[in-house]
Amino acid sequence: VRFKNRYVLCEVVSEDPRCRQCIEDRALGLAVRDAIARVHGDYGLACCSISFTVKYLNAYTGTVLLRCRKDSYRLLCSALPFVRYLESRAQRYPCFLNTLHVGGTIRTCQKFLIQYNRTQLLRLLQNCTNEEERQCIQKSLLSCSLTEEQSQSGDEEEDDGTETD
């Protein structure tokens, strides 16, 4: 018998390109907790923060993986739309969180993320202007897989970062 968790995969969307660089796990955790407190009150905040952490954060793509208990993931998911800004180093960046996937394990979220990144890369490929960038994207598209995730996911995210800038 073990504790069951839910992993919520989100993407931080904002207009300001500086916002992505300043994403950090503490700021995001605070913002999400604050939203839960505003929507569900003290009870909701207490329920959700039993096993609440930011498990994975990617500043280049703005991908965030949150963890919470299975019993309270509904409270968390329904409060995510109410996150309006991220605050870090006395700067407020307006943004919103877009939920991509809710999974029971990190592995399923990772599989989804790889698929999602692949579609995003395809979309970037369409908007490519430079031949070099095109080659880069095509190479990373062909090389994304679950087994070699540590080195490759770093590659594909890096390319993603250069294109979006």
Partner 1 sequence: MHVIINCNTFNEYFTVFSLDLFSFCLLDKIFLTVCFSVGYSAVALNHVIDFKEKKQEIIKPVSPSELFPSLPIVQGTSKKIKVLTRLTLVVSDPSHCNLLRSTSANIRLYDIIAVFPKTEKLFHIACTTLDVDLVCINVTEKLPFYFRRPPVNMAIDRGIYFELLYTPAIKDSTMRRYTISNAISLMQICKGKNIVISSAAERPLELRGPYDVANLGLLFGLPEGEAKAAVSTNCRATMLHGETRKSACGVVYTVKKPRKVEEEETAVPACKKAKTQA
Q: How far is 84 from 5, CA to CA, in rounded Å?
A: 25
Per rule CB under 8 A, is residue 115 in the interface with partner 1?
no
> Is 154 in contact with 144 (CB distance < 8 Å)?
no
As to burial, measured by CB atoms within 10 angstroms (0-12 exposed, 13-18 middle, 19+ buried), residue 65 is buried
| Residue closer to partner 1, measured from CB, 56 or 96 | 96
Q: How far is 41 from 22, CA to CA, in rounded Å?
A: 28
For the segment 74-93, give every residue that binds partner 1 (CB under 8 A): 74, 77-78, 80-82, 84
> Is 64 in contact with 57 (CB distance < 8 Å)?
yes
| Residue closer to partner 1, measured from CB, 38 or 55 | 38
- For partner 1, how many residues bind (rule: CB under 8 A)? 22
For the segment 22-41, give every residue that binds partner 1 (CB under 8 A): 38-39
Per rule CB under 8 A, is residue 108 in the interface with partner 1?
no
In the complex, minimum distance from the CB of residue 126 to partner 1, in angstroms, rounded to a whole number: 8
**Assigned token pair, 137:** 């994207």
> Is 157 in contact with 60 (CB distance < 8 Å)?
yes
| Residue closer to partner 1, measured from CB, 55 or 74 | 74
Residues forming the site for partner 1 (CB under 8 A): 13-15, 38-39, 74, 77-78, 80-82, 84, 94-100, 119, 123, 126
